[in-house]
Amino acid sequence: MKPTGFMLSFVFLTAVSAAAQNYTVSTGNLELHLNSAGEVTSAIAGPERVEYQMQSTAGLGGSADLTSSSVRELPTGAVEFTYDLGSSGTLTSTFQPADDSIHWQVKVVGAAGVQPYSTPIEASLALGAKTDPLFWAPWSAGQGLHKIKPDFAPTFKNLNESDMLLRSYWVDPLVPQPLGNDIFEVGSFFRRGGGISVPLAMFVDRSANLGISLVQSPADTLLYMECQTSPDQRVIFSHENHRIVQSNPIEFNMNIVVHEPDPRAGLAWMVKTYPEYFEPPNPRAHEIAGGGAYSEYEAPWDAEKLKQMAFRVNWKVSVDFPYMGMFLPPVEPHVQWDRYAGGARGRWAPGDEGRFGKISIEKLADYSRQMVADGFNVLSYFNVTEFGDKIVYPPTPGIKETTGPLWMDANAFLNTHFPDAILHAPGVRESWGGSVAMDSAEPGYQEFLVKQAQRHIDEIPDAAGLCVDRLDWLNQYNRTADDGVSWYYGGPARSIGMSWKDTSAKLGELLHKADKVLFVNNIYNRLDLLRHVDGFYQEKGNRMVALNGGAFVALRKPQMIWTQRVDLEVNGPDTFFQRALYMGAHVTVPIPGNDHTITPDPWVDAEYIRYGKLFDAIHQRKWVLKPNPVSVEASTSSTKANVFEVPDGLVVPVVFAGYATHAKVTLRHLDGKPYKNAVAYMPGDEQPVPVRLHQNGGTVTFRTPVKSGCAVVRLRE
């Protein structure tokens, strides 16, 4: 979160060297020319050696005075510029040739004897005059919802209006747009109208057939980061809340990458360079995911009907525990306890309390065993950012006294075992059911969480793994703790995002060793926070910003999204389902007992069965990241198509074709793979229709029928 209440001005570094001198740093398809101030002044890019009046700067915000600078040319071909900022410290900007890009590192070190402080650390890149590029980023709403609705300003006060807008409108996030005055938070959060989920900013120069991307490494320590753009073709990466002190050097590692003028080409570079952030640590995640549910229902299922709807996995709803955080109480497997929500919360119909009111570890294990026998999967509910029930803060006298087992009293257990884990930002943050927000890096609490995860592995062996709720807390700071790197509102703090990185590494190691998976409710989409995650079940995924932003962190991981009846009513089932198919997302299936998601009724069930085979076709999909890999022609100009890999070939969702009856599709860059047959799945059809392929080397064309504006074509080798 960006602090408010004060203003910062930005001063970029300028030349101080008396003797003007030029330096060159080059790699295979990019050559940068730099002056003695360490600024890029021009560039030659691409196989046709296109010249740009490229500009770059690096600097600190505030009023840092530049007293002197020095330059070193290194044997590796790198050029290093070091600036003495006087009482502010030093800044080093280094340009280093890499195999397929130029690596740009900005390093800041505080001055000796100076107290810690924080100010924005910035790096900017512009293509310069004589070009008119478009801009693209892995954004959730294009260049902002204000381009759709000029008076839109998402706030907590007008959240109902914002929510309906986010449901009703959708912008294709793969379309580059003109540069404007925009600020994108790196971290796509639905309540603020979106942002960028992957730290990449791209210039698209179609006249030169080039794309040029500035990429920030997700492996760096990132706290609060913005991507700012301006009509003068400038992109600025700005980092805030970092502690500048001599003992704590701060590094930001970027790459300037030249590629084809297509968003997928820049994303392909990211996936190739940082595969550990995109590939699921446990590949079994793709088999487990599919049509989802968030249900406590334990009565017999209509398994065949659910399979017609492409259902595969239930995230067991958050009512089984006695209170938030105590997911498996320290009792014998047969011992029963009252479920937390019960009938009092209105989740169940009258009379259901007796049917669903008590649970035990033994019953949870039996439930998962039966689900697997029926051909489905279970993800157990987990949460690392909230704890308790009706927590009293500050603790009242005698709060540690309890007549029963300590674990039964949430206040007593919290204040006995890990009171320092409560998040102070600055005050204590209350959440669902009177729980409080928590900082998972506090050692006692983290140990408790890891032990809870191990008990799930040991005592519910048929569950596929965990799904962790409420990542929306990760942009907060705990002002009563210290992570050694954050400086927030003038003092040390601990980033809850940094806490999650540490906790998720431990949870991931534990689960993956047992061949289990770690899924998350990624309300806050930010690539660097998701390295140890196998897949996503996104609570706000029925809103545009979450669907789009989530798709770019899920390029190689499964993405499932929340669905509510209003989504089908506001958008129409065809529109809602086709958005999801185009973005490679699975939807929530109408299951009895679904918690604030869609539940069964004849109309809803029929619409899901209409699209069931289409969602089955994209099961285990991964994005194809070749440049311009697919194009589509139809009588309706709104028609779109995407292309994904699946284990036995390719799938091509053709969507939004309106009243068209057919669409012509061209696939490119297939690397000579021979595709022998294809079939088209269309809404409502019992059987797929054969599609004739025409292949010429790496290009395949076909004409597919469409129905209700849609078909999913599956090609097999």
Which tokens hold the place of 154? 């998402």
pLDDT 10s digits, 574-600 = 999 999 999 999 999 999 999 999 999
Q: Per residue in 658-707, pLDDT tens?
A: 999 999 999 999 987 889 899 999 999 999 999 999 999 899 999 999 99
> Which amino acid is residue 253, in one-letter code?
N
Average pLDDT over residues 144-148: 56
- Bond from prior residue into 394 cis (ω within 30 degrees of 0): yes
CB 520 within 8 A of CB 538: no
Strands 210-216, 224-230: parallel, antiparallel or unpaired by DSSP?
Answer: unpaired
For 301-359, what is each residue's pLDDT tens digit? 899 999 999 999 999 988 899 999 999 999 999 999 988 864 344 344 444 444 457 89
Tokens of 98: 């890499």
Structure confidence at residue 401 (pLDDT) = 61
Strands (E), 77-159: 79-84, 90-97, 102-109, 121-126, 134-136
How many CA atoms within 13 Å lie on the side-chain side of 309? Answer: 25
Q: Are 176 and 202 spatial neighbours (Cβ–Cβ below 8 Å)?
A: yes
Query: CA dihedral defined by 129, 134, 138, 141, rounded to 10 degrees?
Result: 120
Query: Which residues lie below 8 Å from residue 236, measured CB to CB, with a gap of 6+?
Result: 122, 123, 124, 226, 227, 228, 229, 230
Contact 171, 214 (CB under 8 A): no
What DSSP designation does 448 have? H
Rounded distance between C-alpha atoms, residue 717 and residue 663, angstroms: 22
The two beta strands, 477-478 and 491-495, are antiparallel
Amino acid at 484: G
To the nearest whole percent, how much of the chain has pLDDT over 70?
89
97, two tokens: 């040739």
**Positive or negative CA dihedral for 536, 541, 545, 548?**
positive
Point out the least confidently predicted range of 32-36, 273-277, 284-288, 456-460: 32-36
- Per-residue pLDDT of 22-74, as tens digits, reads 999 999 899 999 998 899 999 999 999 999 999 999 999 865 566 778 999 99
Q: Which 8-state DSSP code applies to residue 462?
A: T
Q: Whole-angstrom Cα distance, residue 12 to residue 93?
A: 12
Burial class (CB in 10 A: 0-12, 13-18, 19+), 156: exposed
Element (H, E) at 368: helix 361-373
Distance of alpha carbon 393 from alpha carbon 391, whole angstroms: 6
Token digits of residue 489: 């509102």
- Number of residues assigned to the chain: 717
